[in-house]
């Protein structure tokens, strides 16, 4: 049975008193509405650690658009079932006040890569991400924490933060899990209409094609996507698009 922990001091007590020092803790932070992408991270974590901790916290400080935050899907009962299936030991499920006793006056800010790609059109997004991940890692104290390459920029920034602040944790990247259509799995896919779900896989197909970024942009717009950005850096091609109000991101190795 997964033990659900809402109170952070309760977890700190368990962590101190019940988890023997020779047991390794693996950690998978999420915002819930769990799917096979999350499951792959949790399964890898289960294989590589004695104790598996997952968190579900829809972190308001990383949403620059309040509607996006309000509409973010939640599927708590389904999530608990998946955590049980994956043999997860603890779910950390905190509320805002327990995560932000400082009222978000203390922040972790990276001032270079976080301003590019997704950061260019989502001001403050990565400040929120880095701050909450540092808090969660300090709370859970894992040996290893797992992050998906679907959010490659996020993974790189978190890895950089942990190294910059000498945090004693190994950041493990995990490959993007896709639908059969090629569409990267995402909690936000649940917000797509039936028609949009049919169009969405075109994004990945074009991203991994040999076409140049200009041609890809034209073809995406023809298929009714609104392009947020397309870019190439560090041997990867990155993109973010809107289908209706839903923002999708993806990236591929070049
Ligand atoms: P989220 O709940 O969207 O914040 O995601 C939690 C973690 O799962 C992050 O490290 C994501 O990068 C990862 N993740 C989300 N979708 C996928 C996917 N399709 N494949 C691999 N990892 C993913």
97-137: per-residue pLDDT in tens? 999 999 999 999 999 999 999 999 999 999 999 999 999 99
57-112: per-residue pLDDT in tens? 999 999 999 999 999 999 999 999 999 999 999 999 999 999 999 999 999 999 99
- Residues serving a catalytic function are 38
Quote the pLDDT of residue 30: 98
User: What pTM does this model have?
Assistant: 0.98
- The DSSP 8-state label assigned to residue 183 in this structure reads P
Domains of the chain: 3-174 (3.40.50.620), 187-248 (3.30.1300.10)
Quote the pLDDT of residue 229: 98
Atom of ligand 1 nearest to the CA of 35: 16
219, pLDDT greater than 90: yes
Of the candidates 145, 214, 201, the one whose C-alpha atom is nearest the C-alpha of residue 173 is 145
Ligand 1 centre to CA of 47 (Å) is 18
6, pLDDT greater than 90: yes
Atom of ligand 1 nearest to the CA of 151: 12
CB 57 within 8 A of CB 96: no
Determine the Cα–Cα distance for residues 80 and 84; give it in Å rounded to an integer. 6
21, pLDDT greater than 90: no
């Amino acid at each position: 049975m997964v033990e659900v922990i809402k109170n952070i001091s309760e977890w700190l007590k368990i962590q101190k008193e019940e988890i023997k020092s020779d047991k390794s803790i693996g950690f998978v932070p999420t915002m819930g509405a769990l799917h096979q992408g999350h499951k792959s991270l949790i399964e890898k974590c289960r294989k590589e650690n004695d104790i598996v901790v997952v968190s579900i916290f829809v972190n308001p400080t990383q949403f620059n658009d309040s509607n996006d935050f309000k509409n973010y899907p939640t599927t708590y009962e389904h999530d608990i079932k998946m955590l049980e299936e994956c043999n997860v030991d603890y779910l950390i499920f905190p509320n805002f006040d327990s995560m932000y006793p400082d009222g978000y006056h203390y922040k972790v800010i990276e001032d270079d890569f976080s301003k590019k790609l997704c950061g260019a059109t989502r001001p403050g997004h990565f400040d929120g991400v880095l701050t909450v991940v540092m808090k969660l890692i300090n709370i859970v104290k894992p040996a290893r924490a797992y992050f998906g390459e679907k959010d490659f920029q996020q993974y790189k920034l978190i890895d950089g933060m942990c190294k910059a602040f000498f945090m004693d944790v190994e950041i493990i990247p995990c490959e993007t899990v896709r639908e059969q259509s090629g569409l990267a799995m995402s909690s936000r896919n649940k917000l797509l209409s039936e028609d949009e779900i049919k169009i969405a896989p075109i994004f990945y197909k074009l991203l991994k094609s040999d076409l140049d970024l200009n041609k890809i942009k034209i073809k995406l717009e023809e298929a009714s996507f609104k392009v947020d950005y397309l870019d190439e850096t560090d041997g990867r091609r990155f993109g973010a698009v809107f289908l209706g109000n839903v923002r999708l991101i993806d990236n591929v190795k070049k």
